[in-house]
Chains A and B, each alone.
Chain A
Amino acid sequence: MRHLLNSIPAIFRTLRVAARQVSLSGVIVAVALLPSISPAQQTPQRYVVTADDETADLTNTATFYSIGLGGGLTPVATTASGGAGSAGGYFAAVRVSVLHNAQADCAFVGNGASNTVGAFVVQTQTLAGSFFGSGTDSGGTVGVGLATNDTYLYVGFGGSNTIGTFAVEPGCALAFIGDTSVLGLNGGTITGLAARGNMLVVTYGDGSIESFNISQGMPLSNGDAQNSTGSVNDHIPNGVDITSDGHYAIFGDASTVTTVEVSDISSGKLSPTIVYNVGTAWNSAGVWLSPDETMLYISNSSGGQVTAAFFDKATGTVTRGCVSPRLNGFYNGWVYAGRVGTSLPTGTGSVLYVPEFGGPSSVGVVNVQVSNGKCTLTEASGSPVSDPSSSALISIGVYPARPF
């Protein structure tokens, strides 16, 4: 019996290798069918990609919406992601990560319940494969979160508290490199993560945060795990974003008001966070910088609103901006909002897309206007756009991605 138990991991490894080979052969076919264009050579069709996060066995999907000139969304395809989703999870968990560079146009979607990542070729909306990490990686009840730089995809497995490192290979295939075990200072699990340059920054949902050096690929702790300043007042860091120059990490707090925290990471480590209270809208879990980094967009996950704050990239300070009205369908179709995405890869982003968790889920569309130091957020007519394939939408990605 003991021999049999010992052999189980090996069996899994064998199966995973086989699955990977099957996936890769699918990739090869998909790549062969692709038009011979270099992804970055021409203006690509823009898409919003949803992680539908359905749990039923192997039925999770990603839905692709094409983005029209005014930012409007039209459903294009719903494609199986090769696994089962988690039916929700942390508001700021990034279940869709989009990669757009000279080598690849990929969307990665977490399959939290089957502990895999579905990799899509964006322009064809086809599945390149579904990729395992280690045998012990588990999304558990909170699923997975993703972060990517040009070379690697980092997958936070909430159940096993491991960060899996995957190399991004041609055709959007993933090659698992290894795991890093992590844990919050107070026992919390991975909630949000973001990568930029050599830094990976993680939130744990227990008030603590930590950064990792990823210059060698696999995350290596910088030894700076700390409770955030806001956690003393029960403002718990949830989502995280990092400026393009890697100077500041910005945390969105799960809270009863709109609080964000900023840490100077220019030294290569997290410094104590500074708390900014930028409004009274309820819960500020998801944060996203505008492409020009002048605006910080905040999903008020429990209040059905979106807040825009002004961000000073030079100093890292955040000042009050504006808040949207409560979005259509809040508490009457959907109940929570995930992290927003921006429509355009330049300027303020122009239009925000808001994942709206409900049955069925939807994507809210919010127009941004900024002038003379003031801003307004207005929900577009026809918003929200239904996502009938999801009853648990909490994460979207926009292709092409913001340039950082």
Chain B
Amino acid sequence: MTRFYRLLFISAVLTVFTTSLAAQLPDCPLRPKPGGPLVNPPDVFSQNGVLSAAFTMRSSFDAEGYLHVCYNYDSSSTGRVEAPTLRVNPGDQLMLQLTNRLIYNPPAPPRGQARRPVMTMPARGTSNDPCTGGTMVATSTNVHFHGLNIPPKCHQDEVIQTDIENTDPPFEYSVQIPKNDSPGMFWYHPHLHGFATVQVNGGAPGALIVGGMEKVKPQVGGLPERVFVIRQQFTDPNKWLGGTNQLTINYHQAIAPLGASPIITMKPEAKEFWRVANASNQAFLALQVQFGTAPQPLELIALDGIPVTNSTMVTTIQLPPAGRAEFIVQGPPSNTAASFWQSGVDTGPIGNANPAQLLATIETSANAQEPPALPPAPTTPETSPQRFAGLATVTPTTQRKLYFAEATNGSAGPTEFFIALEGQTPKVFNVDEPPSITTKVGAVEDWTIENRTGEDHAFHIHQVHFLFLAVNGVPLKDQELRDTVIVPYWDGKSPYPSVKVRMDFRDPEIAGTFVYHCHVLDHEDGGMMEKIKVEP
């Protein structure tokens, strides 16, 4: 064979090999280029009381070096999409089949893990059941249905032991949406300890909406509904203080003025119902709709998936990582410059940068194609007894004090992150350690949570909402049910800032062991998480 033909042959073999390799490579759908109209994520609706969907989790790097981690969903109508909005109604069954096929190498070791042996869940039994744990590696995953008040059981909403590896067969989640739960916006995301940051950073999360809001808040009935999932991407999310990053809104990069801004087109002065999830790793958002530079009134409808008691008018909505807000926006008059902003949050002397950022430009047109109206739910949410009913007037059975703390090795880290119970030695989360708190079904507890660090934290507990009572000892005027709240940073002089919340463990459905943690995911991965056991 001559040299020419030998090269030709090698070239042909390589072409066949790389083509077939490309066909097998895990991949995520292309994400939008900067600018362009913002549209809602694709929807998957429940039918006849059941929402059935199959996701395949995959990953890829884009041309700019951002890692994409995606829940791929194939449908006959839309083709392959990622992270669709799951729409269910109270009482529905959510059947989600998850196939994990992650094969990426994360950009860097998770923060804190270089300081100790890689943590493992208990070894799987002979049944090789993902419910029995396994080695926690970057390519393992699981799903948390954030905000749903459902049992902490494997195949439902359990994240301590559930470890789906990338060679496992499809894993079935089967979740009963409580009949007496509130309508509202929730979200789903990976929650594997040590790797939540990198997988959420990759853009995996999606929205989950429980229908029926118009029955609780009639003013939203018939309004065009927009769903915005705000994510954040880093080229290296595990790097200390994150480094360069960007927010995205429904996967459109929000990078103005460095790139074109996404566009929301509204009819002049038309009212719309906006549902916004902060699905970022660590961004504390202060949402505003501005006409010119003037923040406009927003009618607050729901926070963290629960309709607010009083629909107050506000001009800024603060959302910690994982928080959700639902509100009515009135569009600008014709020819009025308007925009949707993250107006920036000071997260403290050692907090990560949270600068102001234009999320989208709002344009008006009499012919604007509005998104569909809020789909009415077929059933009426049960009104009695609602979850968490009467919580404000219940006498708590226990008072506890917890605090956020950090032990830092240097100005560039690494850092150990703690959420500790007063009186106990702060320890980074260890799956093998017993729960920090043990209580019983029926308990109602008041927790005061202090921040003893110079940066904001976001307190979150699984399985239940809590009543947000006070900040720094001052009772809140509007005490609402939340699942994630900001615990403000300590300024180095004043008493430690604190929040006070009322925990509701009365529902026997949530008996079991689950976690509470900081929802700055880098902190959670670094150990700022503990277990609570609710005994039957």
Q: Interface residues, chain B, CB within 8 Å of chain A?
A: 114-117, 240, 349-350, 405-412, 414, 416, 418, 420, 425-428, 452-454, 490-493, 527
Q: Are B454 and A89 in touch, CB under 8 angstroms?
A: no
- Which chain B residue has the least Cβ–Cβ distance from A257? B426
Q: For this complex, into which size category does the number of interface residues on chain A fall?
A: 35 or more
Asked if residues B114 and A206 are in contact (CB atoms below 8 Å), the reply is yes
Q: Given A234-B427, A304-B492, are A254 and B411 also a contact pair (CB < 8 Å)?
A: no
Interface string of A159-197 (1 = CB under 8 A from B): 000000000000000000000000000111101000000
Min CB–CB distance B407 → chain A (angstroms): 5
**Which listed residue, A88, A233, A253, A255, touches B410 by the CB 8 Å rule?**
A88
Contact: A332 with B492, CB < 8 Å?
Answer: yes
State whether B409 touches A90 (Cβ < 8 A): yes
A133 contacts the other chain (CB 8 A): no
- Complexed CA–CA distance, A326 and B117 (Å): 36
A366 within 8 A of B: no
Per-residue CB contact flags for chain A residues 317-331 toward chain B (1 = under 8 Å, else 0) read 000000000100011
A110 within 8 A of B: no
Is A93 an interface position by the 8 A CB rule?
A: yes
Chain B residues contacting A353 (CB-CB under 8 Å) are none
A126 adjacent to chain B (CB < 8 Å): no
Distance from B277 Cβ to chain A, minimum over Cβ atoms (Å) = 32
Query: Which residues of B have CB within 8 Å of A25?
Result: none
Partner of A331, one of B426, B428, B452, B492: B492
B411, B414, B418, B420: residue with the most chain A Cβ atoms closer than 10 Å: B411
Pairs across A and B, CB under 8 Å, 25 listed: A88-B410, A88-B412, A91-B409, A91-B410, A142-B410, A191-B409, A205-B115, A205-B409, A205-B414, A207-B116, A234-B407, A236-B115, A236-B409, A254-B408, A255-B407, A256-B405, A256-B407, A282-B405, A282-B452, A301-B408, A326-B492, A330-B492, A331-B349, A335-B350, A394-B410
Q: How far is the CB of B195 from chain A (nearest CB, A)?
A: 17
Inside 8 A of A200's CB, which chain B residues have their CB?
none
Contacts A188-B114, A207-B116; A331 near B454 (Cβ below 8 A): yes
Binary interface encoding of chain A residues 356-371 relative to chain B, with 1 for a CB under 8 A from any of its CBs, else 0: 0100000000000000
A interface residues, Cβ below 8 angstroms from B: 86-91, 93, 141-142, 186-189, 191, 205-207, 233-236, 238, 253-256, 282-283, 285, 301-302, 304, 326, 330-332, 335-336, 357, 392, 394
Find chain A residues with CB under 8 A from B408 CB.
91, 254, 283, 301-302, 336
A256 touching B411 by the CB < 8 A rule? no
CB distance from A361 to the nearest CB of B (A): 11
Q: With a CB–CB cut-off of 8 A, which chain A residues contact B406?
A: 256, 302
A254 touches B491 (CB 8 A): no
CB distance from A112 to the nearest CB of B (A): 10
Query: If the complex has contacts A256-B406, A331-B492, are A233 and B411 also in contact, measured as CB distance less than 8 A?
Result: no
Chain A CB within 10 Å, residue with most, of B409, B452, B490: B409
**Chain B nearest CB: distance from A236 CB in Å?**
6
